[in-house]
Amino acid sequence: MTTIGFCGLGRMGAPMAARLMDQCERLLVHDISPEACAALVEQGAVAASDAAELGRTCDIIFLSLPTPAIVRETVLGEAGILSAGGSPRIVCDLSTSGPRLAAELADALVPRGVASFDAPVSGGIAGAKAGTIAIMVGGPQAEYEELRPLLEALGKPFYMGPKPGAGQTMKLVNNLLGAVAIGVTAEGMAFGIKAGLDPARMIEVLNQSTGINSATRDKWPRSVLPRSFDFGFAAALSLKDTRLLMDEAEAAQVPLPLGRAVQDYLERTLEREGPEADFTAIAKVVEEAAGLDPERRE
């Protein structure tokens, strides 16, 4: 069995790393939070001092990190995976870091004999714990067959092709549709509530009709109708992903006016609710603009 490294033990990374524990001889983990590492060590992992140690020690390394800049530094930086002679067989980025960075990493890794995969995920914290996340994979076909059983331990992988960034592109498409679903659902619900309709009844109807989407199916019943706004994904992270989407679309010369509208909603949500806001709080921004009381109880 192989030695696996996992860098980034946040709300998504920690449960994914835990699911790899039984898939390898040794699991080395690293995070800037000692507490996060300690929690995995208690389950049988070994703490690594930095990403460079992962690079020197591990056959396959997974990354689950919050921003493209941190991903780049973790792989290419002075104490990164490739420093100090690091040469794993495979590096797999599970973060949402964009197709251009995926191509940059491949350009650095492949000449050193390291297979580079971009494999961003979707499905939330509950999916990461249950092993039901969708994994969108770009990278070389031959090494994918070695990587696939490990990805299957995390969720359901979808191979998008050998081009670096193929998985990241698919994730940005998914993010666009998911974020727009929240925005347009908030608008439709505000219109109906202003006209006197019962919001719970509206969601019931939508989920049996052509208006059904991920927001009506999951986010409104769990977080908006009860006014808890705690679905589990930060508006700040959603905005980061949306800005990455818009930057990549601009580079590809693809106009995304709906994406721009969602970006505006997220920016206004953070202004209104603060940095800890959940992305479902977009509904409050839309309701307030419609003259409704966003602090009401349904």
**Contact between 282 and 269 (Cβ < 8 Å):** yes
Closest Cα to residue 157, out of 140, 133, 176?
Answer: 133
The SS3 of residue 7 is: strand
- Check if 171 is active-site: yes
| Nearest in space to 88 (alpha carbons), one of 69, 70, 66, 62 | 62
Q: Which of 171, 194, 219, 284 is catalytic?
A: 171
The string of DSSP letters for 243-282 reads HHHHHHHHHTT---HHHHHHHHHHHHHHHHH-TT-BGGGH
> Tokens 């780049």 correspond to what residue?
72
Q: How far is CA 237 from the centre of its chain?
A: 9
- Report the catalytic residues: 171
